[in-house]
Amino acid sequence: MNQKLYLWFSEAQTKDLTLSCRVKEVLHQEETPFQSLAVLDTEQFGRMLVLDNIIQTTVKDEFVYHEMITHVALNTHAAPKKVLVVGGGDGGSVREIIKHQSVEKAVHCEIDGAVVEASRRYLPEISCALDNPRVEIIIDDGIKHVRENKNTYDIIIVDSTDPIGPAVGLFSVEFYKDIFAALKEDGIFVAQTESPFYNRDLIPGLYQDVAGIFPVTRLYLAVVPTYPGSLWTFTMGSKKYDPLAVDISQIPQMDTKYYSPAIHQACFVLPPFVKELLGEQKK
Ligand code: AG3
């Protein structure tokens, strides 16, 4: 019997480790002014968005990341009305944000319009909220947008790529200071902050930078199978509200597959090797 031809896409997760996925079909490929963009249909994870050969999201596991980068902060704030997403051109974060009734406007600032277009076309289950009237899409540099809008947002979510190339500025102390200024007096900031296994040089400095600016700083975890090491960190800086002080019995029933009131609390429980990165007591 004939064997089907095997084509594999490999992401070099570190210089010594790759994750390989068997590809059914290359649906789209282009060089944008910012990066190389591909949408692949894979056997294991379904359709997958790849930027500069790095897996950004897949239709099978995107729910973990998008629910966790949004709902923890949105259910910590008393009544978030205006929310900004920097990056995240696929629209997954915005889709989760508008599940919150209090949200009047979700502003989505993505530097690369081609990511938005490819996601609309090939990832409809992720990008489906982009045409919602409560969503405003701005194709521009998020760093500039944050700098130019002071005291504007209740929540700012930084849904970035890895801290290489165009995203380096999204992991800088200057940017965190500008975010602090762009938030209202009880605002909350959340960023995706990479792997506690493979980014041990990044997380300590970043956490200290956020803690030097925001009165409440918390790091939390979720499991995203397609990201390096699967275990993934998010860092929250908050001016007033503490996510751990939330009465989880008051969290409204939500249509989610990973986030839940129990996860809202449990995601802040850190293994000693992660606590160590934050300069905290291990136990
Ligand atoms: N942002 C990318 C997270 C980092 C993934 N890193 C990696 N695979 N090496 C995801 C954007 C989804 N909205």
pLDDT at 275: 97
CA of 1 to the centre of ligand 1 (A): 39
CA distance 95 to 246: 23
**Together in a domain, 38 and 94:** no
The residue from 15, 38, 58 where one domain ends is 58
What's the full length of the chain, in residues?
283
Instruction: Copy the structure tokens of residue 196.
Output: 């506690």
**Together in a domain, 21 and 154:** no
**Together in a domain, 24 and 143:** no
pLDDT at 81: 98
Catalytic residue among 154, 159, 178, 209, which? 159
- Which atom of ligand 1 is the closest one to the Cα of 162? 4
**Together in a domain, 167 and 255:** yes
CA distance 196 to 219: 11
**Together in a domain, 240 and 165:** yes
CA distance 52 to 165: 10
- Which atom of ligand 1 is the closest one to the Cα of 192? 3
pLDDT at 4: 80
**Together in a domain, 27 and 89:** no
3-class secondary structure, 209: helix
**Together in a domain, 43 and 84:** no
Answer whether residue 2 is part of any domain: no
CA distance 119 to 115: 6
CA of 30 to the centre of ligand 1 (A): 19
Answer whether residue 113 is part of any domain: yes
**Together in a domain, 245 and 112:** yes
| Domain count along the chain | 2
CA distance 5 to 226: 23
**Which residues 6+ apart lie within 8 Å of 141 measured at CB?**
109, 111
Residue owning the nearest CA to atom 7 of ligand 1: 227
Which residue range forms the structural domain that includes residue 18?
Answer: 7-58
Pocket-testing residue among 54, 94, 171, ligand 1, by greatest number of atoms within 8 A of Cβ = 54
Query: Is 41 among the catalytic positions?
Result: no
**Together in a domain, 54 and 138:** no
Q: Which residues of the chain have pLDDT under 50?
A: none
pTM of the model: 0.97
CATH number at residue 16: 2.30.140.10
- Which atom of ligand 1 is the closest one to the Cα of 57? 12
pLDDT at 281: 61
CA distance 258 to 61: 10
